[in-house]
Structure 1
Amino acid sequence: MVKVDSFSVESWMDRYETKCKYNIAETCCASISIDELRELSEDKNKQVLQTSNALTYGAIRGSDALRSNLARLYSAKSTAAIQPENIISTPGAISANYLAAYALVGPGDHVICHYPTYQSLYDVPKHLGATVDLWHATFENNWLPSISDLEALIKPNTKLIVVNNPNNPTGVVLKRAFLQQIIDVASAHDITILSDEVYRPVFHSITPLDPGFPPSLLSMGYKKTVVTGSMSKAYALAGIRVGWVASQDPEIIEKIAEVRHFTTISVSQLDEQVAAYALDQSTVHRLLARNIQLAKTNVEMLEKWVAKHEDECEWVKPLAGTTAFVKFHREGKAVDSVDFCEQLLEKTGVLFVPGSECFGSEFRGFVRIGFVCQTQVLKEGLVEATKFLRKNLDDVKLAE
C-alpha cells in the first residue's frame, strides 16, 4: 500500500474553515453564485444551463464550448495559438496536476519541484514512485529560487520540473526572463515542465506593461510544457469543480487522455456549462475585472495593516494571486505559527493557515493569509487580528 502523508493544508481547512467567523485563509477570489455570474454577463439572453440536454457523460475530453473558450484565452496576445484539442477538462486543477504527474513520471524517475508550494505538486510524484528534490525559494531572496540551484538539481533521470506561477503561498511571480531561463535549462536536458497556473491571471500588483510580466508558460515556445488551470481561484467558481490541463505537445495530451480514462471518464456536463458561460467573451472580462479589482483593493488594505504592525510581522508583498506569506515574531524571534493560528482562531474567530504545519517545518513564524475574500470580511478580520496582536501575542509560544 502506498504511504500517503497527511495533506496538511487541506486537513487544516477541513478542520477549521466552517468554524471560523472571518475566513482569511481561503485561496479563491470571493466566490459568486450563478445569479451573480449572470448579472456580470453582457448577454442577458444567454442561458447558463441548457436544462433540456440529456445528462449523458458528455464530451469525454471536455465540451467544445469550454475548450474553445479556453483556447481563445490562451491564444490572446500570443504568437503561439493553442487549439481546443490541446486542452482536456478535469474535475478541478488538483485532478489536472495529478493526471499530469501520473502520465509523465513513475518509479525510477526524478522530479524537481518549486518550493514552497501546494503539497500535492511534490507529494503525488512521490506516491507514483519518483524521487523528488525541492527547488527552494527563500524569504531572504524575495521568495525567488536560483537558476544555479535548479541546474545543480538536474540528474540523468530528471523527467519533470514543476513550477507554481503565481505562487501559493507567497503570491510571488516568476517573471518572463526567469521563465525563459527555466525553459533553457529544461530544453538542454529534454525535461518536461509542469506549470501550475491556477492563480493566473489575478495580477494585482504588476501590469502587462511591465517588461517582466509573465505570460502563460504555454505560450513561450517550449513544446514539452504542460500547464494546469482552474475555475476555482481567479474565476471565483470553486463549487463547479472544473479545471484543465493543456499542452502544445500532442503526445503529452494523448498520454494524459489515456490515464484520465482510469479516473473520472468526464467532467459533469452541468459544471462545464457554467464554466463555458463564465469564460465566454460576454462574461469573462467583467468577471476577471471584478476579481482583480477586489484583489487590488484588498492587497492595499493588507499592505497598510502589515506596515502598521511592522514590529510584529514582515512580508514580501505579493504581486499576484490571492495569498500572502507573512512572518510573525516577538522581539525578533519567530512565533510558533500553529499556536499563533490556533489562539487567533479561538480568541477572535479569524482563520489563518500556519506555514510550519501546512507548507514545511522550516517556515517557522509564517502564516498564509488569503486576502481576496469579501473586502468587509478582510477589514473586520484584520481589526480582530490587531486586537489579538496587542493583547495576546505575548502568550503565543515561540518557535523552537
Structure 2
Amino acid sequence: MKITDIREARASIASPIANAYIDFSKMDVSVVAIHTDVIRDGEPVVGYGFNSNGRYAQQGLLRDRFIPRLRDATAEMIVDETGENLDPFRIWEILMQNEKPGGHGERSVAVGVLDMAVWDIVAKIEARPLAQVLAERFGDGSTDARVAVYAAGGYYYPDDDLERLREEMRGYLTLGYTATKMKIGGVPLADDLRRIDAALEVIEKPECLAVDANGRFDEATTLAYARGMEHYGLRWFEEAGDPLDYEIQKALGKAYSGATATGENLFSHQDVRNLMRYAGMRADRDILQMDPVLSYGLVEYLRMLDELRAAGFSTRNCIPHGGHQFALNIAAGLKLGGNESYPRVFAPFGGFADSTPIEDGQVRIPDVPGIGFEDKAALMDTLRAHLD
C-alpha cells in the first residue's frame, strides 16, 4: 500500500466565549486528509485528522516540515510487517526526524493531527472501529461498551449572567448528560462562588459539577479558591495554576481534600513523568487530562500511560481533554475513566456520532470502521468542504 495524497487546510471554530485566560473569537483548527491506494467498499481509504480546541491551526508546521517528511517517505518505510497497513510508530519516527528534544509547545499539535488521520486509516483498513483495534493491540482485548462523558461549558460570555448559566446547565441535562464542567477564574472569587451556586441549583449534585481555572492562578489564589470551594464537594478542581508549575499543584493537593485535575497542556511523556514525580498527584482521586491529539498523537499518549502505570496510576484516572471521537475511541479501547464533550461549542468538531445519543451520561462507540467520522454528518460536510 502507499499514500497517494495529503491535503491540509484551516477551519474556523470561532465563538464569542472566553475562559479565565483566552477568548475564542479567532480560534481555528487544522484539518488533514491522508489518501491511500487501499480500496474498501469500492472507494480509496482516506484518513481524517484535526486538532483539539484551544490550540490554533498549525498550517506552517504541517506544510513546511511534517507533511513533506511523510510525502518523501517510501512505501516500505511507512507500512507494518504485513505490508498491507500503515505503521503509526514508524510514521511517528519519520515525522520527528531532525527534531531536537524538548520544545513541545506547538509541533506536538501538528504531529498529533497527522497521527489521528493515520490511526483512522489503520482501523478503516482493518474494517473495525478504532476502539476495538486499540483494545486488541494495547488493552485486554475488549472495549468499554459505553463511555462516561461530561458536558464542558460554563464559559464567560460578554453578556454573562447567572440565568444564562442556569439555562446552559439545564440544556446539558436535557441532552442526557449527568455531569458538567464550568469555568472559574475570570471574575473575583466571590462572583465565581455565586456562579457555582447558580450551576448547582440546576445540577443539584456537587459531585457532578467540575470547575476549571485554565491555569490562571498563582499559589495564593489557588489556595483561596480551594478554601472557598472545599465545602461544596465538587467533582474536581481543574488546572488551578500554570500546567508546568508543579509546586502549585502540589500545594493544592495538600490543602484541598477534593479531587484535582490537570494535564491537558502537557504534551510529552517526559512532562507527565515530571508531573508524577513533583506535583503530588493522588492516585486515589486525581484526574489526568492529557489530550491525545495535542500531545503528538496516540503514539505518544501510549507512552504517557506507561508513565502513569509506573507511578501507580490506573488508566481509569485518565479523562482526556478534547471532546471528540478520536479521544472517545481511545477511552473505550484502553478503558480510561471517561471523556470530555462540547455539546454547545466548537461545532462540528466536538461531539460524537449522530447515531449515538448521550444516555444517562454515557455514549456508545458506533459500529463504524475507523474513528467514526463518517457517522457525523456535519463534521464530514466540513472536512470535505475544506479538503476535497
TM-score normalised over the length of structure 1: 0.35
TM-score normalised over the length of structure 2: 0.35
Which protein, 1 or 2, shows the higher relative CO under an 8 Å CA cutoff with sep ≥ 6?
A: 1
